[in-house]
Amino acid sequence: MTAYNWENNASNAGSDWCNQNDALMSASNVPGVALTPTITQTFSSNLAIVLTVPTIGYVAADKNHATGCEDVNVTPNYLSTRFKVSVPKKNAPFTLTPSATDGFVYQDEWVNFLDKTYPTAKTDATRTIFYSLDNEPDLWASTHRRLRGDATSTPSEPSRAVALTYAEIVQRSKDYAVAIKDVVPQALVFGPVNYGWQGMVNLQSAPDAAGRDFLSFYLQQMAAAQTSTGKRLLDVLDVHWYPEANAGGIRITESNAEPAVAAARMAAPRSLWDATYLENSWITQCCGWGPIQLLPRLKQKISANYPGTKIAITEYNYGGGNHISGGIAQADVLGIFGRDGVFAANLWPLGGSHAYIHGGFEMFRNFDGFNGSFGNTAIQAASTDMVNTSVYASVDAGNPNRVVVVAINKLGVANSAAIRVWHTTRLNKVKVYTLTSASSQPQVGGPITIRQLNAFQYIMPAHSVSTLVLEP
C-alpha cells in the first residue's frame, strides 16, 4: 500500500517483490477498485477496516514489468517516469474520476473518494474506515529503497537509501493527517505504524535520534500540532508487534511446536503487561530494557506526552497456528487487549495453517458455534497463578446476570481451579466449552451445577482454553 495509486490501482511492493510496478492489487484501472470490494465485504460483515494512506511521496504510475521479476531501476530516471508524485492536498475541487496524465496523485482526493463511496462510514461506529499513516515507515530505507533515492542496491548489498528522520516522519504525519481531517473531520488517524521494537525506540536508528525515545518525541510533536492547528491529528498510537521471544534460537512466531518453543509462545503474552516477566529475546538481553511491559510502556508515553491517544496493534502474530500453544497464546492476547484497553488490533497471517489461532478467537466470539460471545463489559478477574494460568471475565450490558469467563491452562496436565464469582445474583449453572490439542474447534463440555453460593470447582484440561458461561 505504500506505493499504491488509487487512481489506476498500480502498486509497487518494494523489496517484498522485486521492486517492480505491477497489477497485483488489481488489473482494473477503475479508481479505487483494488479496495472497494474488500471495504464493501467488510461492512456487510458488520466490521471496521483500517486503510493505508500513502505518505512516502511517490506512488506507482504504471503496471508494466517483464515476465517474472523486473525492478523499476531498469528504467533510467524511473522516479520521474515510472512513478507519480503523491501529495497530501490537492488545493482544488475533487473528482471521483481523476486525470491519469497529470503526474500527481492527491491523497485527500483519495479520502474524499472513500467518503463519497461510503458516506455512512464516518458516522457508523461499527462499519467505519480508520486511516493509517502509511505502513512501517521505519523500514522504508530497505523495503522501499527505490523511493528513498537508492537506484542500484540489491537485497544482498548495503542500502544507500536516504534514512527516515524523526523530523521528516513528524512533518509527513502532520501534513497527511491534516489532509485527512480536512475531508473527514470525524476520521480516526492511526500512526506512526512502527514495525517493531527498534522502530518504537529510535525509528530504526534514525540519523537524528540523538538518544531520544522516538515514540515519546512523536507524541510530543503531534500534541504540539494539535495546539497549532486546533485539531487532533493523531487519534491512535499504532505499532506492530511480532514477539521476538525464542527458545533455543527458534522464534515463537514460527510454526514450530517443539515443547520449549510452545512453552515460550504460551508465556510470551506476559510481555504485553507483566512487570515480573523477562522473556528470552534480544530485546531483554542487549540493552538493559528489562521486562518489556509493552502496553504499560505505551500508556506511560501517552500519559506523559499526549493524553487521550488510543492504542492499536495493527499487526501481530504469536505463531503456532496449527498447535494448541498458538490457540492459547491467541486467546490470552485477546483477553489482555480487552482488559488493558487496546482500541484496535489485527492478526497478520504469516503463512501456513492458522486453525488453532482461529480457535483462540472463537473462544471469545463463537465458542458455541452460534456466535456465542464474550460480554461487552469487562469485570475484574484474577488468578493466584499468573505463570501457568490466565483468566478474563465479562458481563453483558443487556444481560448483566450472564457472566462469561475465559480460563486458560498453560500446563501440560489438568489443573484444578476453585472459581468464585462476586455477583448480586445467584448463579446456578455453567455451560462449558473447551479448546484443547484434540481439536482446533471449540468443543462442548459437560455442564456444571453450582451448589455453593457462586463458587465451584472446575478442572481445566491440559493445555487448554475454557469458556465458562454462568447463568442463574
pTM metric for this prediction = 0.95
All cell numbers assigned to 439: 481439536
- Whether the per-residue pLDDT at 158 is higher than 70: the answer is no
Sign of CA dihedral 179, 183, 186, 188: negative
CB atoms within 10 A of CB 22: 19
Q: Which of 320, 318, 15 is nearest to 146 (CA)?
A: 15
Contacts of 375 (CB under 8 A, 6+ apart): 394, 395, 396, 397, 402, 403, 404
Is residue 270 within 8 Å of residue 277, measured between CB atoms?
Answer: yes
End of a domain among 346, 377, 408?
A: 377
Domain extent at residue 429: 389-471
Average pLDDT over residues 233-240: 98
Which pLDDT value is given to residue 3? 97
Residue 107 within any structural domain of the chain? yes
Query: Do residue 339 and residue 410 come from a single domain?
Result: no
Say whether 136 is catalytic.
yes
| Phi, psi (rounded to 5 degrees) for 471 | -140, 160
- Whether the per-residue pLDDT at 70 is higher than 80: the answer is yes
Query: Do residue 140 and residue 209 come from a single domain?
Result: yes
Which pLDDT value is given to residue 20? 96
Residue 5 within any structural domain of the chain? no
Q: Which residue has the cell 485527500?
A: 108
Query: Do residue 103 and residue 133 come from a single domain?
Result: yes
Alpha helices in 144-247 (DSSP H): 166-183, 197-202, 214-229
pLDDT band at 330 (very low <50, low <70, confident <90, very high): very high
Query: Do residue 414 and residue 306 come from a single domain?
Result: no
Q: Where are the beta strands (DSSP E) in 339-471?
A: 344-347, 377-379, 389-396, 399-409, 415-420, 429-436, 439-449, 455-460, 464-471
pLDDT digits (tens, 9 = 90+) for 281-306: 999 988 778 999 999 999 999 999 99
The average confidence (pLDDT) of the chain is 96
Query: Do residue 125 and residue 37 come from a single domain?
Result: yes
Average pLDDT over residues 239-260: 97
Average pLDDT over residues 195-205: 97
List the catalytic residue out of 7, 109, 136, 315. Answer: 136
